[in-house]
Structures are given as C-alpha cells and as structure tokens.
Amino acid sequence: MEERIDNNPIEKKRKFSKSKVAFIAIGILLMVLIIIIIVVNAYLNRSIEKTEGSIELPILKQEVQVITDANGVPQIEAANEHDLYAAQGYVQAQYRLFQMEMSRRQASGTLSEVAGEAAIDQDKYFRTLGLRRAADESYALYSDEAKLVLEAFAKGVNAYIEQAKQSNSLPVEFKLMGFEPEEWTPLDSLTIGKYMAFDLGGHWEQQAFNYYLLQQFDEEKAYELFPSYPRDKPVIMEEEHVSIQDAFSKVMIPHTFNGSNNWVVSGDKTASGFPMLADDPHLGLATPAIWIQMQLKTDQQQVSGVIFAGVPGIILGHNDQVAWGVTNTGPDVQQLYLEKRKPNSKAEFLFAGKWVEATVIKEPIAVKDGETIDYEVVETRHGPVISEFAEDSGKENVLSLRWTALEPTTELEAILQINKATDWKSFEKGLEKFLVPAQNFVFASKDGTIAYKANGNIPVYDNEKDALLPLPGWEVESVWQRYIPFDELPKIINPEKGYIATANNKITTDDYPYHISNVWAQPYRYERIADVLENSEEITVEDMQQLQMDSFNMQAKEFVPAFLQQLKGEELSEQAEHALELLKEWEYEDTVSASEPLIFHYWYEKMEATIYQDIPDSMLDLFKVKGQSTDALLRKGINGENSAWLEDYGGLQQVLITSLHEALAELEEKYGEDMSEWEWGDYHRVYFEHPLSSVHPVLKYFFNKEDPLPVDGSSITPMAASYETETGVVDHGASWRFVIDMAEAGKGYHLVAPGQSGHFKSQWYHDQLDDWGKGDYHETYLDRKTGDQLILRP
C-alpha cells in the first residue's frame, strides 16, 4: 500500500495551534515558577541579618556602631550602657530570633502552643520544675542597674520584632510554624538563664535509679552500681592542699565526663612568658549554635566572648586584662524527697509529725489544634512533686525535688561584674553572685595570675551517702540547712605545678571537709590533658588548640591490654582473633580513618548491653553514671574480685567473648567482611541538626543540606564528641572552643559551630562546620577597626 500523505492545510494549522498553546502554557508555568522563586527568595533575604548601612532605632539615646568581622562576629560600640544592651538585644534578634523564641518557650513550658500535642509531656515537665516561676522570684533580687540592663536588652529585641512584623521579614520558621513572636521581657532572659542551669543539671535521676535498684535487686548487687570514683585516679584538689581558708597555692588536677574541658597555664610554662587559657564547654550540638559570639564596648568596658542567645552580657571570654572559662562542677544540688501524703488528700504531706498543706499551682497548657489541658503542679515544702517523671521509681511513691536552681539567684548580676573585672580579686568578687549552676571557673590575668574556683550554691550534707537516695521528706533532719560558705569553696591560686585543669572529674580529696558530689565524669579526658600539660614547656597557642582537638583514648589504654590478657588462650572466632590483633597494635587514637576505635567502642557498648540487660531501657535513661559503673565492674573482674553483674553472665571472660562476637557480627553486617576497610568516621559523624529538619525532607534540604561530617574523638577524649549509639551521630561536644595568650590579651582564638547565624541563607550559617571538625580557629580582636559597618541611629 502507498503511504498516505496528509496535505490538508486546516489539519496542519490545528496541530500547529495545539503545539503553540502547549508551548505558551509551559512558558507561562515557567514564568510563574520563576516569579514564585524570585518572590520567595526576596522574602527569605529580607530576614537575613543586616550588617551594613544604617537602621533607625528610636529606643536609643545616642548612635551605636556595629562592626561585623569576616566570621560574623559583631562588635557593638555604644556611648552608654543602655544603648549597648539595647543594641545587643537588637543584634541577637537579627541573628537568632527563632532560637530565642523556642528557648524561652521550652524553658517556660509553652511549646505546645506552637508545636501541638507532641510537646505536651515536655511542657508538663518544665511547668512542674517551674523555671519561669524561679526566674520571676529571682528578678526581685536584682539591683536597679541589672534590671535596667535587662529592660534595655528587651527593648532591643522588641524593636527588631516590631520592625520584622511591619516589613513582613520575620524568620521563615515562624511562617512555617504558623505563629508570630510575642513581646520579649526581662523575665524571658532570666528564664533562659535558669534553663542553662537545667541543661547542666543535677543528679535526681541517679537518685531515682539508685532507689529503683534497691527495690528490684538484692542490696549487694544494687550497691555495686552506686557511683564511686576510682581511688587511684587524679582529683583537682591534691592531697597537699592547705586549709580551706588558705589561698590553696599548691594544688590542681582535673577529670573526665562528657561535660567540658578547661585549663590555664602559668607564664613559666608558656613560650610568651604570660598565662594562657583554654576552654571548650561541651553541650548539645545543633543548628543554630547554643552560643553566639559577640563583643561589647563602652568607655566602661570592653569584653569579648560568648553568651546564650536571649541573654545580655558575655558569660565566657576575656577583656583586655583577664580571661576566664568554665566546666560543669556537677555537685549534688538536686535532692529527691519521699513524701507521705495524707489519705484522701491531694495536697497535705507529713512533716515533723504534722500534716502540712502543700501549694497547688494551676498551670494550664494551651495546645495548638487541641484543647487546653488543666494541668496542676503540687509543691511541697521541699519542691515540686515529680513522681510522674521518675519512671518505675515514681510508680508507687510521691517524690518531690529540691534544687538550688529553683531558688532565687542572681547570675546576670555576676556576669555584668566579671565582664569589667581587672584582676583575680575583682573577678572573684563578681563570682559571689554566680550561684547556679555550680561551675569550675579557671582564670588568667595579664598580671601573671592563674586561678581556679568551684563556684556556686553547693548544699552541705552531713553524710555524703544521703545524696545517693531519696530522703524521707517527713523528717526535719533531712532538710538542707546551708550551703558551703563562699570562702570555703575549693580554690587554687598560682599552683607550683604551673597549670590548673578541669574536665568534670572529682574535685577534692577525702580530707576536704565538705561533700561535693558522688557523680563524677570518667577520668580519661582529664588524665590526658594533665599528662600533656605536665610534660610540656614553651607552650604555644597552637599547642593549646591541638590539645583541645586531641583524640587519645585513655580508657582504651587502660582496658585493652587487660582485655587481651583475659582472652589469651580462649577459643575465639577467626574474626575475633583478627580484631584482637588490630587492637594489640593500636596506638589508642580515636581517628576517623582507623578501624580500632570502631571495634573498641562497639565492643564496650555490647558489654554494657550484656551486663545491664535486666534493667529496662526506661530506667537506663536515668542511669547517669553508667560508664563510671561499667568501668568499676570491669576493674573488679580484671582484679579477680567478685561482681554479681558479671557473674550472672558467666564472669568477665564470658562477657568479653559474648560482647566481642556480637559487636563484630553487627559491624560486619554494616560495613562488610573486610575489617581493614572499617573506619571510625563511617560511624562517628557530627550533625548540627536544625529543629525543623526532621519535619520534612524538603526542610532538611534547606536547613541541613550538608552530609554528616566524619570527626575524630569520642565521649572520653579531650576532643569530646559524644554520639547516639544507634546511629553514631555526634550530637554533644565542644559548643565553643576558645584559646587565649595573655601576652596578647586583646586577641582570642574561637570556634562557634556551626556558625553565628540562624538564617540558612546567611554566609555565617554553617561556615564553621568544617572548621569544627578540623580545629581551624578564627581570630577575634578587641580593637577591631575593619569589617561591615552598621550604624544604629536614635
């Protein structure tokens, strides 16, 4: 058949018209899409922090200059303190308003209003604790000067909120969550301060866990898991310390737990001949960073460092004369009380032989897209009833909590004073008002002084065992009567050793007259830091930075040889024998390219899973000293001593064999049969998660587009990088790294990861993420002359 050729001109025209229409439609859709992208992009760009030009702020009395350096660090220079703190509030809000909003809501227990029912349990907990109630009581204690600072700061935040609302330039997170921020108040700043006391916490969970152990296991087995500190490990206050009233001129030595590191070195051990200080507080790692780095300058002060977003001043850092840093002391500042409730009465409890009426506080919880919950908090004379949050320990008991942070305190007052300190005397004077959380302060001065003080409200226990378990709330003798006097808190000034270091380890020896804590970090971070400093001279800034990034694993150094000895001659799989050969040659560095840290840490985790398999996961969450207790059990087994927890599973050798085979089988499934291809960095990776990234993959693309970054270290190395055991994702570590040589007191070396800004389109959003993994610090100068210049005009 012949092929039919359609030469009908009308048909051709119709087909051409259809193609043309389709082409035009596609073009229109593309144009609409481009317009949408342009509009959305313009909207997003409106909320990026402004660092150049000028902005009118009627709240100011005089002009304020803000110079922002290449790392997004603003230096605020004002003619008076009102304008300084008003500008600080405004600038913080530019960088971190959404974070500030969520922080005050979390601490106040009002997240459900914007996040819905998923946040109800969390809100109940924070309403019960009453951080905002405690902040409200604290406000009355502040001086008029401090109140003016809080009010000026709030004015600055509110000026930004008002401008952002009027110009439709609030951060996009508010649009995504469907709400706008309310007015900022001084109480919000104080409540965030109280939240940081919560984050650095106490030990009520461990008391609840100890109580559970005694309820579920025989006494001997239960007491094996009670916290204890190895007697042959170092403490901060050495045995040769003088009396408490003395200047403690001979002492020092810090410890370990994934909390924080700091140290200070005298000029006798440094290349410059001046003291040097390093600090890296370990907190949760997320986007935005917990800290925001800033500089504040008036004729009265010039200070540089970091502060929590939502709070005025500088909490950690330096001025041109002194520098300071902190780690968490971790004292027993939380005490659980067993309460006897009167039958058929909700709010009467026995005390001193009489029924005493408790306070019932109405805390209605508004829930987005839901009904308001009529929640009530019961407060006994000791504190709020928290039984519902104590898992199995609270099932058949009434447990109340006394905590120093729930009392009126004056931390901001202290911050404002130490920002202006010029020597140790004026600095220590400021510490009198820093009450919670109790912190290990290290100090360096340009005049050559180095010093240490464990500072804060620390209750006096007549018997240290009282802090291990809930106390009878009906007995007068159980009530805290006083705190360790300020002049008798542990202190060191210019020790002969030439350095002072802390890493959340035990502070004092047994002859110190007061109890501090039963719960300390494992000693490995401190041991490594002290070993390096002890054997170093002519120390430089680079040496201090390298020590902050040090990944040497002292735990492995202690236990691996002992494990190898225990398994010598035992019948093991070929795979296990190969793993032990690798560990035998390991130099104990937790580095990303090595397989040995992966084997060791997995093995250790499987040991814990074996030993504690009879304890439900809900209670293990309250087991705050699990690592410390595991180490103690392992040492018992190595030394040939009996341990019920080991014997129940065949003794130490069997626990080691079982857990090693389980660890290797799991690793082979995840990373293949070739052990030489396994790498710590395949598992151990840092991820600074934005709170909205888990909501939807599209949001994750914008807020967390980078892949998790392989990093050295672990929870027990100076380069502290604690991780979720199921995923290996590092979510806790050095939230800020800081080093300073007092020979150049106007210059500091910093890292604030993942970056200064909370806006995902800002150049300073995740610009310090890679730097955090590599240890690349940026320099910040007090006398800054160059950078983006923004003028805030009255």
DSSP result, 102-134: HHHHHHHT-THHHHGGGGHHHHHHHHHHTHHHH
Q: How high is the pLDDT of residue 346?
A: 87
Mean pLDDT for all residues in the chain = 91
Q: What is the per-residue pLDDT for 251?
A: 23
Residue position matching structure tokens 């000791």: 382
Ranking 352-361, 614-623, 741-750, 769-778 by mean pLDDT, the lowest is: 614-623
In this model, does residue 233 exceed pLDDT 80? no
CA-only gyration radius of the chain, Å:
29
Cα gap 794→791, rounded to integer Å: 10
Cβ distance 516 to 507 under 8 Å? yes
The pLDDT assigned to 31 comes to 58
- Between 4 and 574, the more confident residue is 574
Is the pLDDT confidence value at 35 over 90? no
More confident residue, 424 or 9: 424
Binding-site positions: 332
Each residue's pLDDT tens digit, 499-518 = 999 999 999 888 899 999 98
Residue 232 has pLDDT above 70, yes or no: no
What percentage of residues in the chain have a pLDDT greater than 90?
83
Q: Which of 661, 654, 657, 652 is nearest to 575 (CA)?
A: 661
Tell me the average pLDDT across 140-157: 98
pTM of the complete model: 0.92
**692, pLDDT greater than 90:** yes
Confidence of residue 388 (pLDDT cuts 50, 70, 90): confident
Segment 355-359 shows an average pLDDT of: 97
The residue-averaged pLDDT of 560-566 equals: 98
- Tell whether the model's pLDDT for residue 4 goes beyond 60: no
Dist. CA 196–CA 173, nearest whole Å: 23
Mean of pLDDT values over 693-706: 92
With a CB cutoff of 8 Å and minimum separation 6, the contacts of 161 are 93, 97, 170, 181, 183, 184
Say yes or no to pLDDT of 181 above 70. Answer: yes
Rounded-to-10 torsion of CA 143, 148, 154, 157: -130
Q: Is 400 a catalytic residue?
A: no
| pLDDT top residue among 390 and 794 | 794
How many CA atoms are closer than 13 Å to the CA of 67, on its beta-carbon side? Answer: 15
Residue 200 pLDDT: 81
Copy the structure tokens of residue 99. 């974070």
How far, CA to CA in Å, does 183 sit from each of 100, 102, 336? 12, 13, 36
188, pLDDT greater than 60:
yes
Say if strands 348-351 and 334-339 run parallel, antiparallel, or are unpaired.
unpaired
pLDDT tens-digit readout, 442-453: 999 999 999 999
Return the pLDDT at 2.
Answer: 46
**Residues 384 and 129 sit within 8 Å (Cβ to Cβ):** yes
pLDDT score recorded for residue 252: 24
Examine the pLDDT at 464 and tell me if it is beyond 90.
no
Q: Where residue 254 falls among pLDDT bands split at 50, 70, 90?
A: very low
Q: What pLDDT sits at residue 204?
A: 87
Mean pLDDT, to the nearest integer, of 663-687?
Answer: 97
More confident residue, 690 or 246: 690
Joined together, the tokens standing for residue 546 give 């390298």
pLDDT of amino acid 402: 96
Lowest mean pLDDT among 286-290, 400-404, 434-438, 693-697: 693-697
Contact status, residue 579 vs residue 595, Cβ threshold 8 Å: no
Question: Is 785's pLDDT higher than 90?
Answer: no
- pLDDT score of 20: 63
Predicted local distance difference test score (pLDDT) of residue 239: 35
What does the alpha-carbon distance between residue 116 and residue 740 come to, in Å, rounded to a whole number? 45
Neighbours of 479 (CB within 10 A): 15
Q: How far, in Å, CA of 99 to CA of 173, rounded?
A: 10
pLDDT value of residue 257? 43
Q: Quick check: helix, strand or coil at residue 705?
A: coil
The answer, yes or no, to whether residue 18 has pLDDT greater than 80, is no
Binding site per annotation, positions for Ca(2+): 332
Catalytic pick among 108, 112, 260, 551: 260
Report helix angle 596-611 to 554-566, nearest 10: 70
Q: How far apart (Å, rounded) are the C-alpha atoms in residues 706 and 2?
A: 62
Calpha distance 132→125 (Å, rounded): 12
- Which band of pLDDT confidence, cut at 50, 70 and 90, is reported for residue 543? very high
pLDDT of residue 242: 26
